[in-house]
Structure 1
Amino acid sequence: MSSLPNLLTLSRILAVPLFVLLMWDGTWFTSLLAFGLFCLAGITDYMDGHLARAQGTVSKLGIFLDPIADKLMVASVIVMLIHNDAIRGWTMLPALIIILREIAVSGLREFLAGVQVSLPVSQLAKWKTALQMVALGALLLGQSSAHWWPALPAHDLGVLALFLAAGLTLVTGWDYLRAGLRHMGPA
């Protein structure tokens, strides 16, 4: 538990309540702070895996906690962006796709763990996560940039990236489902 990669992963989980508090009132300043925290969380997401592999300290705990930290951060950002009206109307569709896929894949992983089958993260799923983080970061930035840089199209770029991320989310979700169905057998 006390390895640096695991501590970085745990810090992302512990940052979620702080992130929610920063986003609660949705002022341009707290949104800017939330954007900074989100960027820091993204850096720790990259660093924990990189350090664990480089130091040879990949652990079962880290493998377990890393996707949970990602899902908690993504879901809390989406919920708070909806709360602050940065995600509304048709933009709710890709947000819903992302959240539903995360729940479905988590359930699939839980089922497969029960039959002792591992479902490793694909390279495309890593790109999906990166695109989700860019989309959500841009939407966060868009909440504050309207105050200090109105010409920055952060919100519009975030919406576009969110739709692209939802497309990758559907593709990777389908890939995982197909892989999982091979281990479920006939009903």
Structure 2
Amino acid sequence: MISSLRGTVLQASDGVAVIDVGGVGYAVQVTPDHARSLRTGEEAIVYTSMIVRQESIALFGFPAREHLGVFDALIGVSGVGPKSALGVLAALSPDEIALAVASDDDSAFRKVSGIGPKTAKLIVVSLTGKLFAPARPVQNVAQIPRSDVSDSVVIALVGLGWAEKTATDVVRELVDEYAEPERDTVQALLRLALSRLGPTARQQA
């Protein structure tokens, strides 16, 4: 399994990059933006997913592990193949994908060529709880026990539609209730908060 390539860029155009690694040129399918960021003759590292099928073996490459993780999550959704998943990442950033999933917004995926309404909805349903939306800045977040983790989770919950007081109260409760190892990252504390609030408990601030 080829999980990454580091070598000289021989070619980067039309959604394909060719990376020379030890004298072997590997053709990697990439997004148009990624192809434009690569420079012929310069060294690059590409994080890859190798898709093996009866009729072919293909490499799909990404500029960061974050993109690769989202790609792997997308191809795990029924009806989403690697080319469709690459198309999603060509149209949306990992943060935008995570926010769309967290916001139950399948319209973002319907705009991607090859993704129909049913598949778009299935992406949201299948990836809920697997991707976490970035914190979005808001004004006047109420004071809670000071920590970057707690603040980020409150901001994320407000950005997802919960009332500021509701978000602040639930984060304070969870900080008091759980030991630090169980809620010492944004992902862990946000997961606890979403579980506590439930999918239907959103309130507009």
TM-score in terms of structure 2 length: 0.21
Larger RCO (CA under 8 A, 6+ residues apart):
1
Structure with the higher fraction of residues in strand conformation = 2
Rg larger for: 2
Higher helix share: 1
Q: How high is the TM-score relative to the length of structure 1?
A: 0.22
